[in-house]
Structure 1
Amino acid sequence: MSHIQDLEKQLRKASDAYYNDENVMLSDKDFDNLRDELQKLDPDNAFLKEVGAFSTTALSKVKHVIPMGSLDKINTEKEFNTWLTTLSKTVTNEFDRDILIEDKLDGVSLEIVFYKGKFVQAITRGDGQIGDDVTHTIKNAKGFPRKIDTDNEYVYVRCEAVLLLDVWKKHFSDTTANPRNAVAGLVRRTSAVDSEHITCIAFDVEWSDDEVLAEYKKIEWLREQDFNVVETEVVFGRELSNLPQMFDQMLKRRDTLNWEVDGTVLKINNLSQQRKLGERDGRPKWAKAWKFPASGGHTTLIGVEWSVGTQGTITPVAKVKPVSVGGTTIQNITLHNADEIERLGIYIGDTIEVIRSGDVIPAIVRVVTPGKKRVKIEITECPSCGTSVERDGPRVICPNNNCKGSASKRIKKWISKRNIMFLGDSALNTLECTGVVNSIASLYIMTQEKMVAAGLGGRMSEKILEEIKKSQNVELSDFLGSLSIDMLGRREAANLVTAGFDSLDKWENMTVDDLLKLDGFKETKATRICEGVQYKWNEIQKLSMCLNITNPKKKEKKMSSSLESVTFCFTGKMEHPRKELEGLVESNGGRVTSVNKNLTYLVIADVNSTSSKAVKARKLGTTLISEDDFLDMIG
């Protein structure tokens, strides 16, 4: 096989993984380097003219009415200037060379189809001509309206499906390497489980509306229709020399965003000039993607540390030689599970590439160079109790129900959730090692004498016991939601209490069928919660005897309907707690919402603010008021 054929094979395999799988084989930097090499060696290679990758999933295939092309990339200021020179030969008037710049989102590109104003279908990019029908997942996603105001029979909205970073960290960071991988899996998941976490951010619209003359007008229309849209800015033709500096500013700004961005998209703003410039091989001549430099680094994997969690799952953490990535020194990187180790093909001693996924979470991308003396990463015994481990799908678990390491993690979680001050890791370790603490319930029967005998100071012991006493008053949902029961956090427990499971007797007799009658519960979740409660029932009973468990106070009826049909959004720092202010709205018949065309008031610390929320609210005609104005309104 020739080198060119080998390059093409590598690129096709990596492209297929990127577009059709939730695991990425190559970093963007390595993919682009290979593509550039192929471009130099064989500029007419068929791969270079292809868009995306043909879908290899089992989902239904749909042909795009309007092909979803891709963009050629630029990586340097020199390449940008070369493009500008090319543009100026066709677009001779500098007033027609205004450029719209927008974030290049790093997710899954989609086309959302509306028929007679109603959402009817969602299709992945695929190879630009044919994509997967993912209506079953996107119908549950956030960020776009299900109905739009239009006279067009068909409207095609282009958007990026993403996982917001805070959502990914909360729900998926333990099981996926980065938000892009996670959303790629969610979009194509046939069961549609967890698809409600997907957010769609629109960046283009196609229709038969000839009255729209500029790219920014499309964005304005999308915003008016209540789509989440990309951040955009128009740079005038006479000011294009400032674009490289603006690019640097956007590069610095991406650390503040709540979604992954891997570059900037540049588009000629004038639609008639776009048509005049045309395209080549499915890529528009009037647009470019200016990629951000990869924020990765190379280091050596020197070891793996395994730790057991609250459910007995044993998680591997890679220990690497310190490496600076994106201004942060990295030494520890989670490997999530055994499947991830196998997928990466890593061994101790290998030189590896490390990135900061979402510019936040360190992640290993690939093996750069195999080590001379490679050591296989494996585990046979629980690092805490020594019990032989078992494999459960991708997970390694300790089957010992009395594992001290797992019990210790559950105690620490309880201490954290119940906000027991002064009982940190060092003090807890001392109490555990001497047998004073071996369960959550043991916290409530230990004495100052035992604590001092274990090695803690008298005054510190006294302060810890005072905090433990405070924690004895607990609402039922906080009690159950802090016990490390699988898939049962405090919020879910509160939902179940509200749904009628408002006593321990009802929780003891709760069945899977009971939960399946409630919104948001499917077989797996209901089964795991019920099994978890039954498994821990003896512990629940024993601990409940040490506590004063109460139910939350019933919500008071509305004080009035003075705010009926009025909507509020609160932003910025307030004198009163946000929840208190929102409670006042709801108790007076109003509704709390986000900034959208139906918002009545945006309550903001500074009514003259130029924040993105304030700017958007003004454009939508929303009234901006201060906290004092709001309180005067309530009376």
Structure 2
Amino acid sequence: MSVADEDNPYLRDPPTEFRPVDDLSADEAERQVALLREAIREHDRRYYVENDPIIADRTYDSLFTRLQALEEAFDLGHPDSPTRRVGGEPIDAFETVSHVAPMLSIDQSGEVEDVREFDRRVRRELNVAGSGTASSDAEADATDSNATLSDFEDSSATGAFAYVCEPKFDGVSIEFVYEEGRLVRAVTRGDGREGDDVTTNARTIAAVPQRLHGEHPDFLAVRGEVYMPKDAFQAYNRERIERGEEAFANPRNATAGTIRQLDPTVVAERPLSVFFFEVLDSSDGLESHWEALSNFPAWGLRVTDELDRVETIDDAIAYRDELLDRRDDLPYEIDGVVIKVDDYDARETLGVTARHDRWAFAYKFPARAEVTPIQDVAVQVGRTGRATPVALLDPVDVGGVTVSRASLHNPEEIAEKNVNVGDTVRVQRAGDVIPYVEEVVEKGSEGHWAMPDSCPVCDSVLERDGPMAFCTGGLACDAQRRRSIEYYASDDGLDLEGLGEKSVRQLVDAGLVETVADLYELNGIQLTALEGWGRTSAENLLSELEEKREPPLSEFLSALGIPLVGPTTARELAREFETFDAMRETAIESPEELEGVDEVGETVATAVHDFFTSEANAAVVSHLLEHVDPQAADVEAGGDELDGLTFVFTGALDEWTRSDAQDLVEAHGANATSSVSGNTDYLVAGEGAGASKQEDAADNDVPIIDEAEFRALLDERGVEIK
């Protein structure tokens, strides 16, 4: 069926109301579904390819919703229906498949002399004069550097020697295969010969046509670049930051991480788009790349407007320089331009190497270095409720690392530096690690960005405390709750090796865990249903949790994530009060009594009081105590046999819990810390010891000893163990 105004009522003037689904016969429903699918495909082409929609977004949404309802009610689902864009059932793993034709890489350089050498080699091997003189006025017009796709659709100049210049998209390259006009396969580039079948995910991208339009080849394999538009990337990163998740470094990373999701519904929720830029194979004879690109829009395949066909390498270089000047204004990331020989016969003559096509060259842009514009500002809420403004940047190279976000520290610093959205700023990395905005290089707007009055995550009031701002929502705030779970499982908490940041995010996103108490209600069936979890990893985590049902009081207090209460302060509180109930009651009723404990002053005492008097926190702690019974440490005071030594413990010991071992060495004059530094004397590594602490020990020349060596050290120092 072809779309025609008189045949399809959903094309130009769709109805505002529909007959109830129950009133339709099966034949009527089937016909309406066919018309809706065809109309939606045409609306998609007009929107994504032609940039000329003919109906309002709300009208389009009503057509899409109607199609979904009919397919569900009459069991009329189909693999290439537009409704497949909402995703499907999760898969266990991607299948590896061979490409229709090799997807090779491109030789590249940022040096103009290398580009000219490419041109000399191409012309030498094709026996083409460097002047590139056109054989007629028509060909001269056709090869003008200002030509556009429409100028060449009927031009006889496609056979003349020319280059086609394109942006070098910074996304993920995919092979799309169409048979009889239907999308049958989408495959990642992989090693160039074979890749992962991501067809189900590709179907969720609105700009990928499920069916080709017009007079298309019976068989067509094309190469496309899936990408995330810059504005969508910034908005998506903002959402992630405000949910307490890590932001993606750049749009390419966001795209790569999305296209390889095993759950297509996750892909459908993320703002991906695509440009098509190369024919890999076709059942129809095509003479040139420009001819192919000219046909793409008619087939429903989206191409960029930034295309040019030129005759000389000087024109190609000028194209690159002009695009470099406009790089920041483009709605998508590019990292250079690609210069391709246009004629397919000439390409055949030039051939390929084992790794790249010899008829194409990428002229790279220099990396953005340190100076970049601020596109938006998000507020990141941490475990303790601290609200930190984060600048969302156009990705920039800082010391060899791509940076797309940088801390603005606090409201006072923003006002002092006069930083606002739209300003161009210089970015540095504190200690070569944490990116921050150093200064404004050029103002793009008046005034400075102001901290909102409420938390972007839970809408609770943001209270100022000196230069800082804090969310008052406590564990009722999703961001604080997620971070509290991560901290509970960390080295400074209960040290759950099987539960890292990624695992916590999975559990929370799957709705299995809302607070730390829910960890103890997990089961193997729930865990093994998640991506990346097998029976062994699930059993290991459940076993760890079971072992932690009676944690030492000091570890439990630290794991709660009470602001300003780390492992050292938690141990002092545990020693002083011995039971959790005694400590909590004192914190609530007489917080001033806490100030008599080592490591606890007025500020810490107030933080502990505020934590336990929060209704949201109290509810979480009460639920947690239904599963956990904190135990007081039983270590008698010793002497000074270990005076001056500093220990760090990691992994599981047979004779002691980690907390007991820390209490033991501290009772005999040593210090016990949670992280390795140059001041550490020994890292005691038990079973399942964390690799990061051992790497830190190696970097700082800290001896790593096992439990037997630790026991021998205690004996040597005269420490009596009862």
Using structure 2 for the length normalisation, give the TM-score.
Answer: 0.36
**Structure number with bigger Rg:** 2
TM-score (ref. length: structure 1): 0.40
